[in-house]
Structure formats: structure tokens, C-alpha cells
Amino acid sequence: MKRRTALKTFLTGAAGIAASPSLLAETLSATEPAGKLKGNINHSVCKWTYDFLSLEELCVLVKKTGFRAIDLCGPKDWPTLKKHGIWSSMCNGAEINLVDGWNHTAFHPTLIKNYTEHIELVAAAGYKNLICFSGNRRGMDDETGLKNMTDGIKKIIGLAEQKGVVIQIEVFNSKVDHKDYMADNTKWAIELCKRIGSDNFKILYDIYHMQIDEGDIIHTIRDNHQWFGHYHTAGVPGRHEIDETQELNYPAIMRAIAATGFKDYVAQEFIPTGDTTEKKVAALVKAIKICDI
């Protein structure tokens, strides 16, 4: 499912849960923490996958679990994060959407304006990472997309360098979830990084998406980690829990990431399947334990 479709479905299913704040408070209070984390992986969770909780509640859950970062938060979220001492590990809000991106020059005026403003906001808030998207092909070939994206990103990358902000392009699979998305393979995204030629432009390597379109995850990380600035997780198939029900060996993947010397964040982006708040909350705690190598 696409993020927007998944979120709508997820929130509909969670409506009864959200309507019971006392039950929610009891669940969060009873949550067993993941224990003292080892510090080899910096953990985060994507806000949208746990959006049946308010951001305040998610902050409490994150701290109770034992880590202190949430992914895909925009400026309106930052005061709540700061109140709870939670880091915005991947900022968003400058993008138009997931399909209208930097590969089409028609969107450049809007994107340049948005990213110029958001780079300033991210820097002023003391954060570092800001997400971007290629957008859909709409019949465009790879070379034209590379040229258009390079031309557009180069108009903002100088400001990003000046402000210490890293722009990160997320790779999606185009086989299942994001049909027609251009940045659907590591090779293309790395070529884009090379053409932009800045340490402030990196790849958000989504393990779930690249397992679907490419596979060979650990080998890819070992050979190309210098281009990767951030990681997302989820189980394959289905984008659900990263447990023994799916095909990826996440402890081995985390060990490969740690072996590269990576010090930024790995964010859980799975959609929990539990039919109760307790099960959904427990799934995040378990995922952190699995990835805490």
C-alpha cells in the first residue's frame, strides 16, 4: 500500500482505540521497555505508522521503549518533540507530495521555494535531515530525470551546505507500492548523488522497498554505504512487523550497517498488524529489540 492509502486504512482501524484515552494511558504505562539499548544503532520510528497515537503519546512510548527519535516530522510537530526531549531524525514538509517531485522541471519553482524555506527552518530548530522525492516518471527516461533533478537540487544544495542540512532522497519500490516512481533503484540514486557532488545530499535507503525491487541488501550496504544517510525498515512481504514472519534477517542487516561506522538513524516504518493497542505498542518494542545489535 502507498503511504497515504495505508495511513487512511490504519487510522480507520484504530478509530476505536484512539477514542479510549484511559485505555491508551494504561497501555503506555504498562509497556515493557526494550531495556538498556547497546548504542550501536540509533533508533527511530516513523510518525505515520503509529499515528493512532497522538504525537504526545508517541513521544511517551518512544521514551518508555528506550530511544529518543521520531522520523518524518515537520515544523508543526517540533515543539511537541522538543517538549519531550525527542529528536526529529528525518524532517519533512518541503515536498509537494510523493509523485510530483524534482524530476519534473514544472515543479522546480515550488520545490525551490519550499526547500529554501525548510532548510532555514530545519537549521534554526537544530535538526539535520530533510527528505525529498524524485516523483513519478510519467514517461520520462532515466537520463532526463537525472539531469532535471541535478539542475533543481543544485539550486538549493549550497544553502543546505551553509546551514548544515542534509537533503535525503528516499528510494521506493515501483513494483508493489509506488508504481512509476523514478528513484526505484540504488544505482540511479547513487548516480544522482555523484552528479550533485555534495556531502549534504544523501540517499535514504529504505530496506523494505529495496528488498522488493533489488534484494541483496547486505551486499548493497557494504558496497555503497558512503552514499546512504538514513535507513528505514519494514517486513517483506506486506510492510508489517520485522519479526520471524517475514523474509529479511534484520539483526544481520543491522550488524552490516553498524560495521560501516554509520552513526545516523535507523527508523522503523512498519505498519503493525495487532488488533489491540497493546499488540501494536508491543510490536515497536520488539522491533527495537530485534534491531539493537
Question: What pLDDT was estimated at residue 14?
Answer: 40
Average pLDDT over residues 125-152: 98
Residue 53 CA to residue 63 CA, distance in Å, equals: 14
Q: For the chain, how are helix, strand and coil distributed in percent, rounded to 5?
A: 50, 15, 35
State the Cα–Cα distance between residues 135 and 228, nearest whole angstrom.
19
Q: Would strands 69-73 and 265-268 be described as parallel, antiparallel, or unpaired?
A: unpaired
For the entire predicted model, the pTM comes to 0.91
The CA distance from 218 to 169, in Å, is 20
In this prediction, residue 20 carries a pLDDT of 53
Amino acid at 184: D
136 contacts 96 by C-beta, under 8 angstroms: no
pLDDT digits (tens, 9 = 90+) for 40-52: 999 999 999 999 9
Q: Measured on CA atoms in the order 265, 88, 102, 234, is the torsion positive or negative?
A: positive
How far out from the chain centre does Cα 22 lie? 30
* 211-264 pLDDT, tens digit each: 999 999 999 999 999 999 999 999 999 999 999 999 999 999 999 999 999 999
Work out the pLDDT band at 29, boundaries 50, 70, 90.
Answer: low
Please answer whether residues 140 and 105 qualify as being in contact, where contact means their C-beta atoms are separated by less than 8 angstroms: no
Q: Return the amino acid letter for 51.
A: D
Residue 21 in this model has a pLDDT that exceeds 70? no
User: How far is it, in rounded angstroms, from Cα 209 to Cα 205?
Assistant: 8
- Give the amino acid at 74: G
Reading the block at residue 62, the C-alpha cell is 518512544
In the chain the domains, ranked by start, together with CATH numbers, are 3-12+40-282 (3.20.20.150)
pLDDT higher than 60, residue 24: yes
Question: To which residue does cell 508543526 refer?
Answer: 76
Reported as a single tens digit per residue, the pLDDT across 85-106 is: 999 999 999 999 999 999 999 9
The cell for 66 is 528506550
Percent of the chain exceeding pLDDT 90 equals 88
